[in-house]
A and B are shown apart, each in its own frame.
Chain A
């Protein structure tokens, strides 16, 4: 059974048109992450939530926002997508580290975003 679910699997949007990607988890994990992965590159961390605390990476563009209304759901909002934002977006979860450093990070299957 899928534990980290991303919807949709494929998303097409127009240049400049806002788009929202969603992620849900059944693991009750404290931490949820959003990554951007472009072709043949490593996933790049955009931001993460530790419970309700939002942590933005310094080089994440302002165009990217996130919401976590509850433990199970996290959303990635791209306010004005540009052609350079076409990529695979990966959501992941993990338990609180330190006390749970033996717990792996779980990934969803990703949403592939295309910009027309």
Chain B
């Protein structure tokens, strides 16, 4: 069964810092990997999706990379802002048509 892990579990940075969130998965037979943002008590908002054939995707200050063979993805956030404070989750879609989520990283950006 697919296992998805995110490190660190929590991260606190001062405003303006660049930061990297990590996601690792055990089964490389995936269709895609998706990064989500979740605010407290809310649903999930999709940030970036990387297909298994791609290496990276960018949206504004966010850049996500994927190394499928090593089972790793990173989410890079440039010039962090207090509004970026949220929990960030990665999820992989495996070839069995199931999404598996990581444990999440709780990010706090301090003004």
Binding site for B on A (CB under 8 A): 6, 31, 33, 35, 41-45, 48, 50, 55, 57, 88, 90, 92, 94, 97-98, 101-110, 112
Inter-subunit contact A92/B32 (CB<8 Å): no
Contact of A101 among B32, B43, B100 (CB under 8 A): B32
Interface residues of B in 82-111 (CB under 8 A from A): 89, 91, 93, 95, 97-104
Q: Please judge, given known A-B contacts A109-B42, A112-B41, whether A101 and B31 are in contact too, CB under 8 Å.
A: yes
With A97-B97, A112-B41 already in contact, 10 other A-B pairs whose C-beta atoms are closer than 8 Å: A41-B104, A42-B104, A48-B97, A90-B43, A101-B31, A101-B52, A104-B34, A104-B46, A105-B46, A110-B43
Find the B residue at minimum CB distance from A33.
Answer: B99
Say if the beta carbon of B20 comes within 8 Å of chain A: no
Contact of B99 among A6, A50, A88, A92 (CB under 8 A): A92
Find the B residue at minimum CB distance from A111.
Answer: B43
Inter-subunit contact B101/A101 (CB<8 Å): no
Total interface residues in chain B, CB < 8 Å: 26
Residues in chain B near residue A103, CB distance under 8 A: 49
Distance between B23 CB and nearest chain A CB, rounded to angstroms: 11
Say if the beta carbon of B51 comes within 8 Å of chain A: yes
Residues in chain B near residue A92, CB distance under 8 A: 44, 99
Q: Considering residues A55, A102, A108, which has the most beta carbons from chain B within 10 angstroms of its beta carbon?
A: A102
Inter-subunit contact B32/A102 (CB<8 Å): yes
Residues in chain B near residue A110, CB distance under 8 A: 42-43
Question: How many Å lie between the Cα of A97 and that of B99 in the bound state?
Answer: 11
Interface residues of B in 9-64 (CB under 8 A from A): 31-32, 34, 36, 41-46, 49, 51-52
Residues in chain A near residue B103, CB distance under 8 A: 41-42
Question: How many Å lie between the Cα of A21 and that of B89 in the bound state?
Answer: 24
